[in-house]
Amino acid sequence: MIIFRYLAKEIIFTLLAVSGVLLLIFMSGTFVRYLGEAAAGDISPGALLAIMGYRLPGFLELILPLGTFIGVMLAYGRLYVESEMVVLSACGLSQRRLLAYTLLAASPVILAVSVLGLYLSPKGVAAVEEIFAEQKARGEFDLLQPEQFQPLNKGQGTFYTSAISKDKQDLSGVFIADVNPKTLLTHSESSVIRSDSGQQWFNEEFQRRYFVLGEGKRYAGVAGMADFQELNFESFGQLMQEQIGQYRVKYRVEAEPTLDLFGATEPIRIAGLQWRISLPVLVIVVCLLAVPLSRTNPRQGRYLGMIPAILLYIIYLVALNAARDQVKLGKLDPLLGLWIVHLVFFSIALLLFNWGNLRRWIRHTLTSKKVEQAHA
């Protein structure tokens, strides 16, 4: 138990450190992308944290297997380089027992990945799709913030208001600048509107929404030409949206509850279920791979074997994705599905794990044949 606790502590600490760094990298890249969409007005800034929170299980279910693989490689690599593994072997720690300890230490990760992949991640994907559908159903003025310039018409216009009510129906200090792309030659007609107040108004009869400005002025013309028009108005209305409809959440098999996928006959749903079950299996297989791959000569350093090991993991993950795509398209028998990939890499893990015994057996066999030939 002392040896197991020591090995488990080394694996868990390294695993958490590696997974934390990987999670920070993946979430930072995704957050920057969503931040760009929020700056462009495609989604509300208030929805960013909710989206990232719901996306977290999906990140973790992919990061934890990789973190486990690298964690075992780094932890055991250090033990080999510092000759601690030699001492443990001299104390009776066999490779099989080392493998058993590794799987036992990784059992919390296997359980966590199972919960994430089978339950939490689908709920998170469904929640994110709902948020995106709601954001798409909202008008541009629903995303307005006071004292901030807001892009309109995909960047062809700019809106500004000094104050806005909580229900976002009444505005004050309104400024609107718009560039009309439908102009003659290469010139762009511009218009600037300034008003002291504004209000959103929805016509129940025609299901149309209008933005109505109070008293103000409108300037229109082509930049660089002296033909600008100035218009004073007491009320100025603009159609905002032709029709208000209910949003629809886009169907994704990743968002469907796992229990609903059992017994499915559609290839896309079968592939989705196999992928979710494959994630815990992936953790088990990478542990089997990491133990023999972590064997390191102290003179070579513990990082020498990391490159081929990471390359093998990438090939494993790419093969799983390719098999899932083939099952989705109906080109691969679901009975084989992703399991054939797991079986191949499980066989590779067994070959690597028993490589020393296999080499000794081959050498012994060749030596015996040479002796027999010499006697003959």
Residues 290-348 have pLDDT tens digits of 988 888 776 666 666 788 888 999 999 999 999 999 999 888 888 888 999 999 999 99
Instruction: State pLDDT tens for residues 138-191.
Output: 655 666 677 777 776 666 778 888 888 777 778 888 888 876 655 434 456 778
Rounded to an integer, what distance in angstroms lies between the CA atom of residue 291 and that of residue 282?
14
Measured in degrees and rounded to the nearest 5, phi and psi for residue 172 equal -140, 155
| Per-residue pLDDT at 344 | 94
Rounded to an integer, what distance in angstroms lies between the CA atom of residue 130 and that of residue 108?
31
Secondary structure class of 322 (helix, strand, coil): helix
pTM over 0.75: no
Name the residue type at position 359. R
Instruction: State pLDDT tens for residues 38-93.
Output: 776 677 777 888 999 999 999 999 999 999 999 998 888 888 888 888 788 777 77
Range scoring the smallest mean pLDDT among 76-80, 120-124, 185-189, 268-272: 185-189
Determine contact, residues 195/236, Cβ cutoff 8 Å.
yes
The first and second tokens of residue 85, run together, are: 């593994």
Determine contact, residues 191/178, Cβ cutoff 8 Å.
yes
